[in-house]
Chain A
Amino acid sequence: MKAFLILEDGHIFTGTAIGSQREVISEIVFNTSMTGYLEVLTDPSYAGQAVVMTYPLIGNYGVCHHDMESVQAWPDGLIVRELSRQESNFRSTQGLNDFLKQNGITGIAGVDTRALTKLLRESGTMNGIITTKESYCLNEILEKLKKYRVTGVVQKVTTKQKRTINHRAFVPTDFEQAKMTYMASPQLQEAIQQAKDAGVCSGEIAMYSMQGIEGIEKLKLHSNDKNTAKRHYTIALMDFGTKKNIEHCLLKRGCEVTVYPADTKAEEILKTSPDGIMLSNGPGDPAECIEIIAELQKLYQSKVPIFAICLGHQLMALANGFQTEKMKYGHRGSNHPVKDLSTGKVYLSSQNHGYVVVEDSIDKEIASVWFINANDKTIEGLKYKKYPVMTVQFHPEACAGPKDSEFLFDEFMALIAFSKSGK
């Protein structure tokens, strides 16, 4: 069946309907990752948006359910050049088209995604409609598109109930499990047993089990260090649209994670005396989240160490009186270089944001710039001076994308340890 994508500036793309055939109006954004379409589809930050994949061949490896970043797909639509008719991967349980249908995601294939991307690049992010109706009134549609605003998306994606995951509940991902299995050696088995006996959490055991002789050494060191072996921080994770891998990265480091709905009051969190607070990524305009921002002020003033990602980073900036602004077309992809200004090192990062902290609005007394984007020099991370707060605009939890900055979770652990030792 034919389908149409109409942009608010009147451009029309014709293609084939895929997924659900429900008509949707949405904000059209593009993502340049060459792999990871399922992670993108299940990333709650895309709520209220329809995603154009710039890589032309999508669906090649089908759907590996294990890779979902949340329990469902969130974008309003998926726009691709070519949807593979044959999926092929040993883990794939269904084709992408079936998945889209099952999740009610409207899609369109056969679109000249490069031309579309260039339009979005030049005119900035635009609203659009995906429809299969051949007889439409363009003016009516354009008017509707111009009026459309993405609102209230955080409420839509956040967890409805708080839940706690014990560090013992850590389950390695399928590929972690695989690597642990085939890397197994008698020396490793011995080190693992020793670590287990010393009470080292299973996440850390898994992490080090994959690192060869070096990992075995670290595991031994860890087992012998009474303090770190028994260390299990409690982390309050504010869910503004969190991705599964944030939770996983914390569990892997032996944390007990409690996930809170976005509208949870600061008092409720603080009364549990968490060791650290994690602010997640999420969709929409940060400036809209006025109530959340007010709660964040209380959270950071409590001096509980905080690590914030993406929307969390923007909200923390707003809570400190800085400003955010909408970018022309944002950063969405797996190849964004971010530079750590304190070390000069550059990491490739996974990104997905349409808003950014305004550089000039940052009060240098309150926070210093930690990371910048090596390409456009925009703010990619802040370190706060008076409170143990570290925030990044990009996604250290990756999925999809490079894991180069996953070590930031270790820095968060170190921040907590430092803060505790100071008490």
Chain B
Amino acid sequence: MPRNDRIKKVLVIGSGPIIIGQAAEFDYAGTQACRSLKEEGLTVVLVNSNPATIMTDKDIADIVYIEPLTVQVLKKIILKEKPDSILPTLGGQAALNLAMELEESGFLKETNTNLIGTTSLTIKKAEDRLEFKNTMEKIGEPCAPSKIVTTVEDAISFAEVIGYPVVVRPAYTLGGSGGGIAHFKEELLDICSNGLRLSRVGQCLIERCIAGWKEIEYEVMRDGAGNCITVCNMENLDPVGVHTGDSIVVAPSQTLSDKEYQMLRTSAFRIISELNIIGGCNVQYALKPDSFEYCVIEVNPRVSRSSALASKATGYPIAKVAAKIALGYTLDEIKNAITKKTVADFEPALDYCVVKIPKWPFDKFIMAKRTLTTQMKATGEVMSICNNFEGALMKAIRSLEQNIYSMQYGNYTENTEEEILKKLARIDDRRIFVIAEAIRRNIEKSKIADITKIDLWFIDKIAILVEMEQRLKKEPLSKELMLEAKRLEYPDRIIAQLSGKSLNEVKRLRKEIYQIYPAFQIVDTCAAEFEAETPYYYSCYGSQTEVSVQRTKKKVLVLGSGPIRIGQGIEFDYCSVHAAWSLHQSGYETIIINNNPETVSTDFDIADKLYFEPLTPEDVENIVDLEHPDGAVVQFGGQTAIKLTESLLKMGVPILGTSAENVDAAEDRELFDEILEQCCIPRPIGKTVFTTKQAIAAANELGYPVLIRPSYVLGGAGMQIAISDQDVTEFMEIINRNVQEHPILVDKYLMGKEVEVDAVCDGEEILIPGIMEHIERAGIHSGDSISVYPSQTISEKLQKVIVDYTKKLARSLQVIGLINIQFIVFHDEVYVIEVNPRSSRTVPYISKVTGIPIVDLASKVILGKKLKDLGYGTGLAKNSEYIAVKMPVFSFEKLRGADIGLGPEMKSTGECLGIAKTFNEALYKAFLGAGIHLPKHKKMILTVKDADKLEAVGVGKRFEALGYEIYATRSTAKILQQNGIDAIPVKKIDGESPTIMDLLLGHEIDLVINTPTQGRDKSRDGFLIRRISIETGVPCLTSLDTANALLTSLESNMKKDLSLIDIATIKR
């Protein structure tokens, strides 16, 4: 079937802000799909509220709206742009839900707009639990016995029929939000009531618990003619019970015979054919480990996290092909982009093994429960490729950047065997290391498999890795042993540690004497059956290198940013990709190294070459040994790349752009103070310390409050505001849990207005696209603050000071490329609080709203161009005609036990943008994009810490004026009443009913404002109030500044007529 030529203008819906369960994979899918559509000459209209994405670039789509993803906004866009078609299957569940709402409301029919690819009928059949179950029954595909309930009572009576434990799955939620396994009635009551609330349609599925079965996934594609293929299947190491997003996953399946493989493959084809899916689809199965019995767990009629993984694991571009299928092409009409000789209608054959490990945010949320359940908790993931499983596992572990390089992690010396067995039964992120310990203790493998329900085959593979530890400890380091250790991907540093040699000795022995080097092989989709020239490589030992190394052009390494985590998100992928494009344009051969399967940067046609490898010095050196690049850029890949600077220099690779010494100077307190002094720039006074004692002394000298943090960290990790010696002791203890190579910083904390700039510097001139101002006062991490461009309250005089300081700092740090500086404006004085001579989180959004391609300019400057020749001027750019508000978005509901109170440590997982001609409208759009739709019931809870009480009066008055009924705890209520606000006192959580808790559970509260007291005391009432509000789905603000901003937005009453701004038309 040729392309449907009635399709001329397509609206692509993105997935919105990054949250747990819906991350960068949709930027990858959307970007690939948009490029695929444009390739066909179509006009692409894109809408996504997430400004950090590559898909919202004007190079990717023709018309770009960074607008809130709501039905109203989408309707407006459709009316304005009149697309003939909508492609809803690339923006995750968010886009799918929106498309369904549009369809169900009849709007699409009225406007004569079609959903292309999978139809609404299919979506409904796949997503609606009852319809899905009926369909499966019709064609004989087994599902676990289940029932859809709309009340908790129904759930309980059904559970009594099928017996506990039962699984609760809310309908239409992201990443299994609100689901869980209930072992008894009370648990079911708790999980189910939460799930019903989270479900868009108020439905939950209660089903037989198949926890412990093997979890197998198939990524399948089907075209309009009914042709089906499997892109790959994947086996979860962790059995059913752990969300697949939280499981270690291997591709292809390892423990399935052909009979089981084909049984499930055939089933997947029957299902997608019956559902009439046109495009990509993911089918998840539970397979009973001791029989052929299986159950269909779930079908996702769209591209997903798993399809991103499958694409990277096989080289098969699912999103691209799905887009072509939506246009009417059949699979055999689409070329296999890798071989260019075969067609897309085939199934990739792998001759390697792929392992994915999730990246969890437990280092950020030390209070959060680490238990893994059916509710996904990971923020990102890493993938690795090797020709054996052990090697792939080892590579993936070190890709996580947790300072873990082997199966040795955790201290179990104190644990008895019994305790180890107990730990084995506990499913958390560290279990794989417990398994290794169990093997070290000679606990039988079959027993470990029994307890963990992890297949014996995998346990044995871990055993092989543990045995190598012993061999390296005991045996002389012969060539044969070294070869085997490298085959298993033991890094040199671990070989050195275990064999008692120095790292340099091991390296010399391996490279010079034994001549053991890794081989780089091509991911070719066909197990070498056909020739492929795709420059997509992975390393392994014991093979031949297939890379053709060119010497005609100069080449640059672009280091990626690894897994998505809080503090280092998709923004850095945006920067890496743009850097690669820009460097390529300037005539360089570009080489990307990265290990994140969800991102655009690891698509094989972004750079000239892609190495899918861990970002550790040894792995990077292997590539350097092969490619001999002329330089590396590290300023775009976040801390992951910056951390490699020293190693790259040792390898003899020049760092392009700002020199390593100057990067250091910005982080090294003493050097930095010197520079500030030279430039006569004030900063809050501070000290560097190593011990708790020194820290207390420093804090007292500076005077409380003080800010404590380690140097060289991401997103303010471990940063805290201390108001007492006790706080200092506590925070120092937490920081020192990880060995600190660098001193700890103690600074005077100034509670002023925070201002931020990104600038490009060519060594002489600077270009500042704009000054951004934070809504929240200093003390809340910049990534968690609402950021406004251009600044609204900074006087022209102070703006000049800021520009002047930026220029001075950029010059004295000899910045070539990007610099990000954070200032505090306190009592009409500008202080510098942080300087990062690299790309920052705000780069993508400021590029888009100002129309200044910052990364492109920085890349050119790095190659020696001068700003004055680049056409965007120098100094502070003139303000854009638009105002943009960047709003942080959090994933707290996914992380049980995590404190949502904001502070100097970053907690948000993503962001959205509001852009408009006026501040009020931009602010309104930003709140809307973040999912805060008010008012609903006009009831709110206001409880604040003592220091905020007076300020709370103003907030209370404004809410009252808007007609809000205000509930407050005793002391807050008293203050409010004294100031003439009609506050209703309510009891604290541990009081007698009715308490705040009852109020929240009554589902009539619009909003909770609770400002946390300092410290991390989990038992405090405030903590519980915040958690409960999040878990009951009530927005909770923890800063009065945010509350005031929300009030401004509510008071302006923007709801009706929102403007639409096509980002692609913003020009300089």
Residues of A whose CB lies within 8 Å of any CB of B are 30, 32-36, 38-39, 54-57, 60-61, 64, 67, 81-82, 84-91, 110, 112-115, 117-118, 121, 173-175, 178-179, 182-183, 210-215, 333-337, 339, 344-348, 374-375, 398-404
Contacts and interface: CB of A to CB of B under 8 A. Distances in A.
A175 B331 CA distance: 31
A353 to B, nearest CB: 14
B265 interface: yes
B258 A335 contact: no
Contacts of B261: 34-36
Nearest to B136: A212
A212 B529 contact: no
B217 to A, nearest CB: 15
A10 B136 CA distance: 56
A281 B655 CA distance: 61
A275 B456 CA distance: 49
B292 A212 contact: no
B455 interface: yes
B737 interface: no
Given A61-B256, A91-B257, A114-B544, 13 more contacts: A54-B351, A67-B257, A88-B456, A114-B543, A117-B528, A175-B259, A182-B142, A212-B136, A213-B138, A374-B345, A374-B346, A404-B228, A404-B269
B521 A114 contact: yes
5 contacts: A81-B387, A114-B387, A344-B225, A401-B258, A402-B265
B457 interface: yes
A224 B331 CA distance: 40
A91 to B, nearest CB: 7
Interface centre among A64, A89, A214 (most CB of B within 10 A): A89
A348 B292 contact: no
B140 A60 contact: no
Contact of B255 (A39, A60, A212): A60
B457 A90 contact: no
Interface residues of B, number: 69
Nearest to A399: B258
Contact of A403 (B137, B262, B387): B262
Contact of A337 (B257, B343, B464): B343
B252 interface: yes
Interface string B255-275: 111111111011001000000
A404 B542 CA distance: 37
B528 A121 contact: yes
A399 to B, nearest CB: 7
B227 A346 contact: yes
B447 to A, nearest CB: 15
A34 B351 CA distance: 8
A64 B259 contact: yes
Contact of B140 (A34, A211, A347): A211
Given A113-B351, A114-B521, A345-B227, A35 B528 contact: no
Interface centre among B252, B253, B258, B291 (most CB of A within 10 A): B258
B798 interface: no
Contact of A56 (B228, B262, B266, B352): B352
A88 B457 contact: yes
Interface in B176-231: 225-230
Given A56-B351, A333-B529, A348-B229, A183 B291 contact: no
A117 B529 contact: yes
A183 B294 CA distance: 10
B529 A121 contact: yes
A344 B330 contact: yes
Closest 6 interchain pairs by CB?
A212-B140, A36-B258, A86-B460, A178-B292, A54-B527, A88-B457
B829 interface: no
B540 to A, nearest CB: 9
A332 to B, nearest CB: 9
Interface centre among A30, A121, A212, A346 (most CB of B within 10 A): A346
Nearest to B524: A114
A60 B269 CA distance: 25
Contacts of B346: 335-337, 348, 374-375
Interface string B444-484: 01000000000111001100100000000000000000000
A346 B521 CA distance: 30
Interface of B: 1, 136-142, 225-230, 252-263, 265-266, 269, 289-293, 330-332, 341-343, 345-353, 387-389, 445, 455-457, 460-461, 464, 521, 526-531, 542-544
Contacts of A183: 140, 142
A60 B260 CA distance: 13
Contact of A211 (B139, B258, B387): B139
Nearest to B270: A211
B257 A64 contact: yes
Query: Main SS of the interface on chain A?
Result: loop
Contacts of A337: 229, 332, 343, 345-346
A374 B461 CA distance: 38
Contact of A339 (B254, B332, B350): B332
B688 to A, nearest CB: 51
A23 B253 CA distance: 33
B781 to A, nearest CB: 45
Contacts of B269: 404
Contacts of A398: 262
Contacts of A174: 259, 292
A166 B330 CA distance: 43
A335 B269 CA distance: 15
Contact of A334 (B343, B345, B347): B347
A33 B529 contact: no
B457 A60 contact: yes
Contacts of B345: 337, 346, 374
Contact of B343 (A67, A121, A375, A399): A375
B139 A54 contact: no
A345 B353 contact: no
Contact of B141 (A87, A90, A118, A212): A212
A156 B346 CA distance: 34
A404 B342 CA distance: 20
B263 A175 contact: yes
Contacts of B230: 348
Contacts of A348: 228-230, 346-347
Nearest to B252: A34
A337 B261 CA distance: 18
Given A55-B351, A375-B342, A33 B140 contact: no
A384 B975 CA distance: 95
Contacts of A212: 136-141
Nearest to B445: A86
Interface centre among B226, B259, B290, B528 (most CB of A within 10 A): B259
A403 B352 CA distance: 24
A99 to B, nearest CB: 13
A67 B256 CA distance: 13
A172 B470 CA distance: 48
B543 to A, nearest CB: 5
B332 A213 contact: no
A54 B528 CA distance: 8
Contacts of A182: 142, 293
A33 B256 CA distance: 13
Contacts of B140: 183, 210-215
A31 to B, nearest CB: 9
A345 B255 contact: no
A183 B295 CA distance: 11
A403 B266 contact: yes
Contact of A178 (B291, B455, B521, B526): B291
Given A121-B529, A178-B292, A179-B292, A61 B350 contact: no
Nearest to B232: A34
A374 B330 CA distance: 12
A317 to B, nearest CB: 24
A79 B970 CA distance: 78
B257 A61 contact: yes
Contacts of B254: 57, 60
A401 B265 CA distance: 10
A401 B332 contact: no
